[in-house]
Structure 1
């Protein structure tokens, strides 16, 4: 996806187009039911399906839809993201976002959502969490960060990512999709 930025205010540097794909991570109560629904809605099967986790990589419109089985939180937004093509793009976004004065939370080589990733997190003005990330490699494990999301069949200490840690006052998401 190429995102054309709106015109910059007078005196600002000219914006540059970015390539990537918008990501929406949704909490669902019943993964199988959600996969059936979104397969029909999007006209495609999941790109990745694991216990408690599914993602759809849609080419048109460019979208990565992530489903996280989080009983009792179904229908709520977990976080938002922008998937970029490579680690260099993530590192350029870290520099750009920091240069804009945003507090960034960087992760390199983290494992989350059955993938090894480089990413950066920022928090919007209303507490919404955004990640800019790239997938470096597939992983056989969900991840190891300490957060609220627990994949079915895993103990909380074995789980990872995508949800804000319980009791974390800054709303820091440790890792994700």
Structure 2
């Protein structure tokens, strides 16, 4: 079963962690100096926030699959509907390593479909991006969005 994913860029991480703890009645499963994630079962959602210099607001939405096969099925559905995207294998982002397939909805909102493979100690190993650097949230490839979330 897929899990809905929503990532919001925020301007004050601590204030937002307190707010979302109250909303969900739960503490985050991951907390870094610039990032927090709630992996909730009720409601079943992967909800993340980050304070990395991006404009506050919805960064991207998506579906987290539980297997490679489920991710492939999502991609197949999208392509069958004429929605093309950009595949990323073994991508590092948001303190995780994942296989991804990025698309854009008709309004231009980035959708990330992904299967997580494991955790990493940095926000993004590929860019050598540690918590002290300010560089947007998990960024869709530039060809996927009109504006993108990256500076």
**TM class by smaller structure:** 0.7 to 0.9
**Aligned partners of 2:52 and 2:134 also within 8 Å:** no
Gaps of 5+ in 1: 1-18
Q: Give, in angstroms, the shift of residue 36 of structure 1.
A: 1.1
The two structures have a TM-score, normalised by structure 1, of 0.73
Q: Which structure carries more relative contact order (alpha carbon 8 Å, separation 6+)?
A: 2
The structure-2 alpha-carbon separation of the partners of 1:142 and 1:55, relative to structure 1 and needing over 3 Å to count, comes to same
2:43 maps to 61
Pick from 74, 88, 97: which aligns with 1:93?
A: 74
Gaps of 5+ in 2: none
The structure-2 alpha-carbon separation of the partners of 1:50 and 1:78, relative to structure 1 and needing over 3 Å to count, comes to same
Structure number having the greater strand percentage: 2
**Aligned partners of 1:55 and 1:67 also within 8 Å:** yes
2:113 maps to 132
Distance 2:38 2:143 in 1: 31
Q: CA RMSD in A?
A: 2.6
Q: Give, in angstroms, the shift of residue 20 of structure 1.
A: 1.1
The two structures have a TM-score, normalised by structure 2, of 0.85
Count of matched residue pairs: 148
